[in-house]
DNA sequence: TTGTCAACTAGCAATACTTGTTGATAAGGT
DNA sequence: ACCTTATCAACAAGTATTGCTAGTTGACAA
C-alpha cells in the first residue's frame, strides 16, 4: 500500500475524508508485516486515540480494501487478517498462535486440472501452509 | 468416511450412542460431494426428521470430525463446510454461489521455502482455487 | 475566512455462525 | 425390564462483523 500521505490524498480524491482516525490507521498498517486482525489494529489505534471506535476501524479497513490498497485475507483463524502487501504471495500460518508470515514463491505448477478448468473462470489461487511456528514449538 | 452402518458401530464402540438422528446425518453425508454447511445438512435432515435440532447436527458433525471420519473445511464462504472425503485433496470454490468441488492433484513442488522451513513444523498444505463456476457465468 | 453540506464518528443494536446449558428422554449393557 | 448416563431439543450466550443514527467535522467554494 502507499504512504499515509498518499492515502490521505487518495481518500480525498475519491470523495472520502482524510480524518485523524484514518491517518492513525494508515500509519499503523504502513510497513506492518504481522497480518493484524481488525481487533489488533483497534487495540493499537486506541493506544494513540482512546476515543476511536471499532466500527471506524472496520470502516477504514473496508475502504482500503475496496480501493485495492490492502488485502483482506481469510487464513482460517476465525477473523479476517489485513495485509498492506498487495503483491501476489502466499502464507504460512501457525495453528497454535495464529501468527502469519508471507511466503514469496511462485508456484507455476499449481493449476486447475484441464478437465475442470474449461468451465471455470479462475480469479485467484491461494496456498496456505499450516503448522507450528518456532516459538510455539519451544514452550 | 465409512458407511452409515459402520459409523453406527464406531459410535457405539467409542461410548457414543447410535441414534436415529445420527444415522440420518450419516446417510446424508455418505457419498455426498457437495461440501455442505451445517445448515444445509440441517435442512435436509429436517425433511426426513422434522423434530431434529440444529444443535444435534453440529454435535454429530463435530463428533465425526474428531473421530477423523469427515473434514471440517474453512473455504472462506462464511461457514464451515463438511467433507466426507478425508483423502488429501484441494478445492475449487465459486466466489458467487459458494459451490465447492474437489481437486485431486498432488502438487509436489508446493513446499515451504528452505529459508523458513527449518523453524516451522508443517502439518498441512492447502490450495484453494477461486473464481466463477459454469452456472454462475451463464446467467 | 467562513458557510454549507455530505461524509464521518461513536455508540449501540442487529446479524450470522457456532457453542454452552439444561431438564427430559431414551439407548444399551446387564 | 432396570439403571445409568449419553443424548435430545430448545433456548441462551459468545464471537466476528455490519447496520443504524444523531451529532460532529472535513472539504470545497464563495
Ligand atoms: Mn501477506
Ligand atoms: Mn473435498
Ligand atoms: Zn505459533
Ligand atoms: Zn457459482
Q: Which of A94, A104, A110, A111 to mutate to test the interface with B (most CBs of B within 10 A)?
A: A110
Position B51 confidence tier, pLDDT thresholds 50, 70, 90: confident
**pLDDT at position A95:** 94
Strand pairing of A121-132 and A90-94? Answer: parallel
Q: Which of B103, B110, B117 to mutate to test the interface with A (most CBs of A within 10 A)?
A: B110
Per-position DSSP letters for B17-56, written without gaps between them: ---HHHHHHHHHHTT--S---HHHHHHHHHHH-TT--HHH
**pLDDT at position B119:** 87
* Residue of chain B minimizing CA distance to A116: B103
**pLDDT at position A63:** 97
Give the minimum alpha-carbon distance from B5 to chain A in angstroms, rounded to a whole number.
33
pLDDT tens-digit profile of B58-97?
Answer: 999 999 999 999 999 999 999 999 999 999 999 999 999 9
What structural domains does chain B harbor? 4-81 (1.10.10.10), 87-137 (3.30.1490.190)
**pLDDT at position A118:** 85
Q: How far is the CA of B53 from the C1' of D10 (A)?
A: 8
Do A9 and A23 form a contact (C-beta atoms < 8 A)? no
C-alpha cell at B62: 463435530
**pLDDT at position B15:** 84
Q: How far is the CA of B14 from the C1' of D4 (A)?
A: 17
Query: Hey, is A128 helix, strand or coil?
Result: strand
Average pLDDT of the residues in B35-48: 94
**pLDDT at position A48:** 95
- In degrees and rounded to multiples of 5, residue A87 shows phi and psi of -65, 160
B139 pLDDT higher than 80: no
Asked whether residue B98's C-beta has any atom of DNA/RNA strand C within 7 A, the reply is no
Which of B129, B113, B115, B93 lies closest to A106 in space, CA to CA? B113
For the CA atoms of chain A, what is the radius of gyration? 17
Residue-wise pLDDT tens for chain A (139 aa)? 999 999 999 999 999 999 999 999 999 999 899 999 999 999 999 999 999 999 999 999 999 999 999 999 999 999 999 999 999 999 999 999 999 999 999 999 999 999 888 889 999 999 999 999 999 988 7
pLDDT tens-digit profile of B118-132?
Answer: 889 999 999 999 999
The Cα–Cα gap between A72 and A85 comes to 10
The Cα–Cα gap between A126 and B95 comes to 13
**pLDDT at position B118:** 84
pLDDT tens-digit profile of B19-40?
Answer: 999 999 999 999 899 999 999 9
Position B13 confidence tier, pLDDT thresholds 50, 70, 90: confident
Do B23 and B8 form a contact (C-beta atoms < 8 A)? yes
Query: Hey, is B29 helix, strand or coil?
Result: helix
C-alpha cell at A75: 487464513
Query: Hey, is A116 helix, strand or coil?
Result: helix
Torsion of CA A3, A9, A13, A14, to 10 degrees: 50
C-alpha cell at B68: 477423523
Which of A124, A127, A83 lies closest to A105 in space, CA to CA? A127
Amino acid at each position: 500500500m502507499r504512504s499515509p500521505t498518499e492515502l490521505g490524498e487518495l481518500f480525498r480524491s475519491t470523495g472520502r475524508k482524510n480524518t485523524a482516525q484514518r491517518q492513525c490507521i494508515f500509519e499503523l498498517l504502513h510497513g506492518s508485516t504481522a497480518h493484524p486482525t481488525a481487533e489488533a489494529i483497534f487495540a493499537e489505534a486506541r493506544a494513540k486515540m482512546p476515543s476511536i471506535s471499532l466500527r471506524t476501524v472496520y470502516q477504514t479497513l473496508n475502504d482500503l480494501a475496496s480501493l485495492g490498497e490492502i488485502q483482506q485475507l481469510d487464513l482460517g483463524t476465525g477473523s479476517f487478517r489485513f495485509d498492506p502487501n498487495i503483491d501476489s504471495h502466499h502464507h504460512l500460518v501457525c495453528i497454535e498462535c495464529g501468527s502469519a508470515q508471507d511466503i514469496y514463491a511462485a508456484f507455476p505448477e499449481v493449476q486447475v486440472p484441464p478437465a475442470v478448468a474449461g468451465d471455470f473462470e479462475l480469479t485467484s489461487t491461494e496456498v496456505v501452509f499450516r503448522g507450528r511456528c518456532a516459538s510455539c514449538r519451544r514452550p
